[in-house]
Structure 1
């Protein structure tokens, strides 16, 4: 485990539904204090010592037991304090109470809090000090024999080993928790990214559908108003109005069909899907006819043998032509345009829209429509060019037929 040790880590971390670390520390310190005090009071019934030693002994007990409250905040310091208290207490007092429990608990806590090296060092120092002190005693005055000294060594090793095992387990649980949180965050990020991509796709579809249709309606209405502003004969005026209204009706009907088809992506699983056919290159005749109704001579040309395309590629090619014709009717001031669908490349389909309009101003940045068409082409691993030509302006796109849509990393600016 590579997690760094620190205060309130490992065993000190409160688990959900359990006691807080501070409450647990108070409880442990109180329990140990009660044990030591009761044991010492019972021992005082059978032993006696000078008052000054008794006072010092009780003061040492208070320091050793009270230090346990800070055992998680400063585990090494508390272990050193409790060891020092024991070193002074046992040679001084005749009551021989269980004050050593404070050092045992502090030593375990140091190992459980990740201070493994310090815990081992304290255990070794304790064992050497006890062994050296007993070695200097005469045989009749020794309080710990060789067997007890060996058991003390095993006891110290066990405390450090159990503490180390507790720290390792706590570190493992923390790592598992961190991995689970990281996986949850990654899943949320992926879901948010998917939702954003779907939102951008739907926004682009709505922009292309409504932008094209509304532009045609605007041009058709403007042309009719222009004719009527010349105050023609009533019969001619009625004919012009009927022609404009028929064009507006057809365009708005197609816009509604496209809108229903696009919004079908937002339907729930228990809702019926839209019944109108999806847009594709087989509907270019209708698209060209609507554009021609604005007064521009739009022609459709096919090169190579026509073949079915994957639905996503078919829709993308249709949308590119649709947006190109929208730009022609809105900005080009063209009198004619040619839409070309080229199937001669066996691995891709090419669509071109060339007009005889004014073209784009030199050095001007591409508009949102051109950027959207380029995004569509790149999403399938294709490419799109839009530039001025000798006759006007041309848009050309190549879409691989066997390509899958890729992640869209950029958002268009409307």
Structure 2
């Protein structure tokens, strides 16, 4: 299986680099082979066909990156014919070495090793067929050893390249995963903040509209609650937006939402007409920031759902501090309903928060038909 790098659109610089290697190697190979011919009078004399064979291997390197296997076999044929025709030994082998190294390194392992075997067997077998026996066993084994060393050297570089690419893919996947988790966390925060405060504003606005004509003096607390809830929503939203922008401006921010703000949450919810009772079991103690925030948001979303959807007048929040986990339970006294509760974005978001911490969250009916949310968050 081949692993090739994506080929970018050629630029002036890349074209120059692609031309440089064939050009330089062509000059070196032709000049070196001509010089070797003068020093080896017993070999076939240099002629135009020798130059053509050399140029087939060197010039084809221009297409090495785009068509590696075709260039590989072109150099194999040109080099093999050059050797069997007994031209002088020279730098003709350079193009073949470069092509084999590149193809194996880029992942064309079968083609690279097949080319090594083809040139070696073709050279040794061709000489036997043509009756050329000027090389001894030692020389034949030496050439074979050099080919094997070339192949394994290319394999080492290929393995290194694969490790680098795998590490890059792993980093990219981790970055994408972290970005996805961060988007989910931000979406949950925005949903919890907006849904809670808008629900309170909606309830208080309905109350104010109902009282404004009949008992205008009693509409003032509802309007005040709307003002406070909208102000608090704007503060939290601006805080989240400031984090997204990573700005250093002194935006008004509240402490990270946690169970220490539970009393404030209960008071706000009570102003919407829902009586909330809090029961704590165990010894309260500081919690990890992520778990503390998740616990607060689960309770907040549970109360928001009750205010928005349940025809309830009271809710009970139970918090149990255990040695291994924190257990949250929120019940309401809604009307008698049958069947499992419908899971909307609120319950799904709460379950995602619990699951992200390795915990669980269930939504069931109470014996009276109300909604019961139970979340277990491991410490």
TM range (shorter): 0.7 to 0.9
1:166-315 maps to which residues of 2 (within 5 A)? 166-228=150-212, 231-232=213-214, 236-237=215-216, 239-259=217-237, 262-263=240-241, 265-266=243-244, 268=246, 276-315=254-293
Q: Say yes or no: does 1:65 pair with 2:51.
A: yes
Contact 2:318 2:328 in 1 (8 A): yes
Distance 1:166 1:303, change over 3 A: closer
Aligned to 1:356: 333
The answer on whether the counterparts of 1:384 and 1:396 sit within 8 Å (CA) in structure 2 is yes
Q: TM-score by structure 1 length?
A: 0.68
- In the TM superposition, residue 376 of structure 1 has moved relative to its aligned partner by 1.3
- Distance in 2 between residues matched to 1:166 and 1:195, nearest whole Å: 43
Aligned to 1:121: 121
1:144 aligned residue: none
Counterpart CA distance in 2 for 1:219 and 1:291 is 10
Q: 1:107·1:160 contact (CA, 8 Å) conserved in 2?
A: no
Taking the aligned partners of 2:261 and 2:222, their CA distance within structure 1 comes to 22
**What's the offset of the Cα at 1:223?**
1.5
Q: CA deviation at 1:117?
A: 3.0
Three-state SS of the structure 2 residue aligned to 1:397 is strand
1:302-360 Cα offsets, whole Å, 9 max, x none, are 233333322222221111110011111111121222222223x3322222221122477
Cα distance, 1:369 vs structure 2: 0.3
Do 1:127 and 1:153's aligned partners in 2 also have CA atoms closer than 8 Å? no
CA deviation after TM superposition for structure 1 residue 216, in Å:
0.5
Task: Give the CA RMSD over aligned residues.
Answer: 3.9
Equivalent-residue separation in structure 1 for 2:122 and 2:95 (angstroms): 11
Q: Which residue of 1 aligns with 2:77?
A: 77
Distance in 2, matches of 1:390 and 1:319, equals 25
- Equivalenced residue count is 338
Contact 1:112–1:167 (CA under 8 A) maintained in structure 2: no
Instruction: Give 1:291 shift.
Output: 1.2
For the Cα contact (< 8 Å) 2:80–2:123, is it kept in 1? no
Partner-residue secondary structure (3-state), 2:329: strand
Deviation at 1:227, TM superposition (A): 2.4
Residue 347 of structure 1 is matched in structure 2 by 324
CA separation of 1:17 and 1:166: change in aligned 2, threshold 3 A: farther
| TM-score normalised per structure 2 | 0.73
Distance 1:174 1:36, change over 3 A: same
Q: Structure 1 residue 167: deviation in Å?
A: 4.1
Instruction: For 1:351 and 1:210, locate their aligned partners in 2 and report how far apart those are by CA, in whole Å.
Output: 22
Other-structure match for 2:352: 375
Flag the 1:295–1:133 CA change in 2: closer, same or farther, 3 A. Answer: closer
Do the aligned residues in 2 keep the contact of 1:386 with 1:396 (CA within 8 Å)? yes
